């Protein structure tokens, strides 16, 4: 009986579709045990979990209330938008509600009354979670699709943005790009960002309402029409660099750049028929869990993977505490059909007792010492268990031993320090006169010039004499008639000619410049 259940469970992955379960209880010759597989959550309607932002402020219609017309009936402007009246308001949330039969609810912008100034609007969708798209993004426009728009995406919660697709009725004119179709892309260009004219031409506002980002057509390049050969797609996602990331987003942004015109030019006398109205944005995808979870739940306002394989984090992007004997790895779709779980392993489970704190994937047995030791410690660590920092690095006191940031570079000043090693708190060993944690400063009474040197002069004890001035603690600039390190020696003693009548001038003016001037003056007087 137990065996039957186990057999049934074992067959589940095939019965349920690919990568749906993370583990099953199987019976082998050695008795029953868990078997682990790569797994991913089901695709969901992502609009149910999104936060939306519409820019700029004041772009939503109805405040103050205004009339608008439609392209079908441009002179019958009976429609009204009024933000204070729930029946006539068109707030952003109406892009994400579920539509009742026949009656579309939609967000609407102000009209283009400021023409020829462009009518620009950004609609930004944020999930605070990485999402893998599994189907087309479909944006539905009531009253006509924009003649120019752009889709952008972010992979880092909105810190950086990248173009995803350009849309225009004339790609060359709007973006200086040739028009292309996703259907014409090949296996080597499946992740190309292109400009399409398919969704921007006027076809009557009621006929063609949708603008798509074609995920299925791109998948079909590998999986064939109807996506029958998903194995081939999964193999490609695993092996083609950047392909998986292409379909991954944390945020999307629609930049609406020019509304539907309903003809070839803008009619200045009736600007009330130009505006944007979006009734629905459909985004289908699954939580990115790095193939370590088959469930994704909405908790405290954010999506969160229910991590298996002893991983943790919002995307199962790291190993659980005490399961860090190897570095974390994402699960893999390969080998088909169940993939590799690449699970995190408990400390002490690999090679008897060799813990490497996640800095190495390999251990090796050293015969003559009879010890097992970690090989090729990463993250600037070293030692049998990768438990020390390499020379020139010191221990980050706020990081655990299994943290990637555990070792910090000493960064000793090359000139000021004896060598490039430092003590446990990051202090370098300084040469004479140098100071500071990195030895890039000088002690008092020293000056920096390719290293620290004792002051020649200063304002306290080593004063320049006879009106000399101290130049950057390095030397005294002496008035004419004096010399010596501190200008303490009169030139008269050495050269009698310099003395006559000069001493009084030098004494009172005292700078080199004036001294030189005085010399010239004296020559003139002598004549």
Ligand X SMILES: *[C@@H]1O[C@H](CO)[C@@H](O)[C@H](O)[C@H]1NC(C)=O
Quick one: which segment of 111-119, 199-207, 238-246, 402-410 binds ligand X (CB under 6 A)? 402-410
Residue among 6 and 505 whose Cβ is closer to ligand X: 6
DSSP 393-419: EEE-TTS-TTSTT-EEE----TTTEEE
Number of amino acids touching Ca ion (CB under 5 A):
4
3-state DSSP call for residue 46?
Answer: helix
Site for Ca ion in 224-283 (CB under 5 A): 279
> Quick one: which of 260, 403, 213 has its CA closest to 327?
403
Residue closer to ligand X (CB basis): 352 or 523: 352
Under DSSP, the state recorded for 65 is -
109 to 148, contacts with ligand X by CB under 6 A?
Answer: 120, 122, 128
Q: Which does 295 bind (CB under 5 to 8 A by kind): Ca ion, ligand X, none?
A: none
> Quick one: which of 26, 82, 88, 105 contacts Ca ion (CB under 5 A)?
105
Q: Is 92 in the site for Ca ion (CB under 5 A)?
A: no
The residue among 367 and 424 lying less far from ligand X, judged by its C-beta, is 424
SS3 for 361?
Answer: coil
Ramachandran bin of 214, using left for φ above 0, alpha for ψ from -120 to 50, beta for the remaining angles: beta
Q: Which of 210, 353, 405, 474 binds ligand X (CB under 6 A)?
A: 405
Closer to Ca ion by Cβ: residue 208 or 404 = 208
Q: Is 175 in the site for ligand X (CB under 6 A)?
A: no
Residues 438-497 that bind ligand X (CB under 6 A): none
Q: How far is the CB of 114 from ligand X (least distance, A)?
A: 13
Q: Which of 6, 94, 291, 374 binds Ca ion (CB under 5 A)?
A: 94
Stretch that binds ligand X, among 5-13, 138-146, 303-311, 325-333 (CB under 6 A): 303-311
Strand partners, 442: 434
Q: Which residues, in sequence order, are CB contacts of 27 under 8 Å at separation 6+?
A: 2, 3, 6, 7
Number of residues that bind ligand X (CB under 6 A): 29
Judged by CB under 6 A, the residue of 301, 352, 444, 501 near ligand X is 301
Name 359's Cβ contacts closer than 8 Å, sequence gap at least 6: 327, 374, 377, 378, 379, 381, 386, 402, 406
Q: Which does 86 bind (CB under 5 to 8 A by kind): ligand X, Ca ion, none?
A: none
What is the C-alpha to C-alpha distance for residues 432 and 452, in angstroms, rounded to an integer?
A: 7
Angle between helices 502-509 and 512-526 (to 10 degrees): 150
CB of 179 within 8 A of CB of 171? yes
Q: Which stretch binds ligand X (CB under 6 A): 65-73, 212-220, 231-239, 306-314?
A: 306-314
CB closer to ligand X, 361 vs 465: 361
- Is residue 424 within the footprint of ligand X (CB under 6 A)? yes
Which residues inside 339-378 make contact with ligand X, applying CB under 6 A?
343, 346
105 binds, among Ca ion, ligand X, none (CB under 5 to 8 A by kind): Ca ion
Compute CA distances 455 → 437, 450, 471, 472, 478, whole Å. 22, 14, 10, 9, 17
Cα-based torsion angle of the residue sequence 417, 422, 428, 432 in order, rounded to the nearest 10 degrees? -50
Backbone angles phi, psi at 283, to 5 degrees: -125, 120
Dmax over Cα atoms in the chain, in whole Å?
128
Q: Which residue is nearest to Ca ion (CB)?
A: 105
d(CA 413, CA 469): 31
- Contacts with Ca ion by CB under 5 A lie at 94, 97, 105, 279
- Contacts with ligand X by CB under 6 A lie at 34, 36, 55-56, 120, 122, 128, 152, 161, 253, 255, 301-302, 304, 309-310, 314, 343, 346, 396, 398-399, 403, 405, 408, 423-425, 427
């Amino acid at each position: 009986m137990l065996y039957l259940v186990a057999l049934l469970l074992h067959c589940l992955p095939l019965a349920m579709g690919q990568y749906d379960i993370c583990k099953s209880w199987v019976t082998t010759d050695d008795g029953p045990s868990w078997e682990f597989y790569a797994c991913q959550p089901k695709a969901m309607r992502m609009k149910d979990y999104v936060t939306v932002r519409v820019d700029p402020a004041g772009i939503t219609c109805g405040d103050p209330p205004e009339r608008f017309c439609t392209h079908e009936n441009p002179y019958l402007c009976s429609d009204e938008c009024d933000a204070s009246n729930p029946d006539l308001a068109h707030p952003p949330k109406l892009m994400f509600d579920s539509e009742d039969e026949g009656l579309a609810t939609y967000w609407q912008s102000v009209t283009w009354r400021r023409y020829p100034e462009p009518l620009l609007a950004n609609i930004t969708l944020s999930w605070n979670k990485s999402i893998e798209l599994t189907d087309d993004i479909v944006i539905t426009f009531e009253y006509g699709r924009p003649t120019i728009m752009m889709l952008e995406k972010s992979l880092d919660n909105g810190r950086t943005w990248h173009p995803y697709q350009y849309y225009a009725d004339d790609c060359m004119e709007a973006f200086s790009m040739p028009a292309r179709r996703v259907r014409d892309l090949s296996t080597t260009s499946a992740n190309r960002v292109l400009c399409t004219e398919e969704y921007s031409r006027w076809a009557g506002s009621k006929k063609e309402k949708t603008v798509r980002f074609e995920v299925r057509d791109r998948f079909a390049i590998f999986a064939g029409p109807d996506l029958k050969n998903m194995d081939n797609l999964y193999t490609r996602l695993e092996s083609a660099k950047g392909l998986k990331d292409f379909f991954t987003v944390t945020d999307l942004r629609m930049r609406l750049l020019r509304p539907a015109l309903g003809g070839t030019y803008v009619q200045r006398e009736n600007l009330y028929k130009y505006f944007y109205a979006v009734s629905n944005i459909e985004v289908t995808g699954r939580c990115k869990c790095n193939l370590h979870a088959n469930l994704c739940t909405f908790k405290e306002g954010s999506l969160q993977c229910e991590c298996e394989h002893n991983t943790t984090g919002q995307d199962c992007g790291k190993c659980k505490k005490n399961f860090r004997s190897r570095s974390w790895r994402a699960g893999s779709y390969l080998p088909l059909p169940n993939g590799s779980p690449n699970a995190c392993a408990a400390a002490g489970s690999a090679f008897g007792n060799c813990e490497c704190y996640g800095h190495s994937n390999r251990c090796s047995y050293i015969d003559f010492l009879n010890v097992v030791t970690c090989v090729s410690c990463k993250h600037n660590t070293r030692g049998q268990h990768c438990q020390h920092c390499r020379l020139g690095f010191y221990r980050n006191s706020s990081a655990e031993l299994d943290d990637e940031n555990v070792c910090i570079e000493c960064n000793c000043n090359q000139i000021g320090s004896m060598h490039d090693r430092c003590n446990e708190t990051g202090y370098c060993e300084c040469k004479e006169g140098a100071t500071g944690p990195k030895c890039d400063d000088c002690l008092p009474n020293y000056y920096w010039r390719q290293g620290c040197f004792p002051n020649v002069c200063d304002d306290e004890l080593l004063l320049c004499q006879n009106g000399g001035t101290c130049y950057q603690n390095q030397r005294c600039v002496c008035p004419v008639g004096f010399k010596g390190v501190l200008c303490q020696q009169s030139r008269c003693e050495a050269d009698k000619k310099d003395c006559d009548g000069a001493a009084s001038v030098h004494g009172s003016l005292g700078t080199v410049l004036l001294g030189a001037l005085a010399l010239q003056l004296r020559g003139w007087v002598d004549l």
